[in-house]
Amino acid sequence: MRPDSIEAAVLQLRNRTPYERNLSALLKALESLPDADLIVAPEVCLTDYDYDHLDAAVRFGEESERRLLEATGERLLVFTRLARRTEGYVNEAVAIHGGRVVHRQAKHRLFLPGGEHRHLHPGPIDAIVPFEVDGVRYGILVCFELRFKELWKRLEGCDVILVPAQWGLPRKRHLEILAPALAVMNQCHVAVADSARADMARSSGFYSPDGGVVREDWARVIAAKLDLRMLRTIRRMIPMGH
């Protein structure tokens, strides 16, 4: 049965070394949110973009995923991790629910100014599709992908679009424009989980299709109840053919 609302939380975490400190922070956040339906963590929050130790980062990501499968329970947890595929290394978004992975997609649009294309392989655009959990349609855009209108279109009809990010501080205002614009255009909720590193925009929070914003730059956890009845009302009053 489709719920009327979702208890959601986005995490604003700072990447640290050794890697185990990042996993511990994520597990601690999960423990503190037993009643959440949805939790979104920042992009590559387990290892950061550790290009000098990609194999070690991949191995840690694999082990962390196994531990998170056990810890997540019936909540939906979304994060990204470095992974190895046949074509090369990728930044892979992972959605975990009910002790299993319900969706994976590798980041399609790599951030060229950050040099991602020199180390990682872009994922296929066909993997950017809605997926459903407990009657709710979700979609994922990883950080830089938020800028591309063709990717917005691929997620039309989603109730919630999730954005794990490492969005840089110089482009903070861009994030705060694009996220609510996506929410209004696609008539959905948008949940942004940005890194808490000093050089990041932060701006983590929730953006709703009626223009509402729940945002906090300095909190480690930002929580909100996402009203799905509002989506139905807005889509009925302003039909856009989604």
- 3-class state of residue 237 by DSSP: helix
Tell me the helix, strand and coil percentages in the chain, rounded to 5.
35, 30, 35
Host H or E run for residue 64: helix 54-72
pLDDT band per the 50, 70, 90 thresholds, residue 242: low
CA 236 to each of CA 25, 91, 105, 240: distance values in angstroms, whole numbers, following the listed order: 41, 37, 31, 9
Query: Cα separation of 26 and 121, whole Å?
Result: 26
User: For the chain, which domains are there?
Assistant: 5-232 (3.60.110.10)
pLDDT band per the 50, 70, 90 thresholds, residue 240: confident
Q: What is the rounded average pLDDT of the residues 135-149?
A: 98
Q: How large a percentage of the chain has pLDDT more than 90?
A: 97
With 0-12 / 13-18 / 19 or more C-beta atoms within 10 angstroms meaning exposed / middle / buried, residue 201 is buried
User: Rounded to two decimals, what is the model's pTM?
Assistant: 0.97
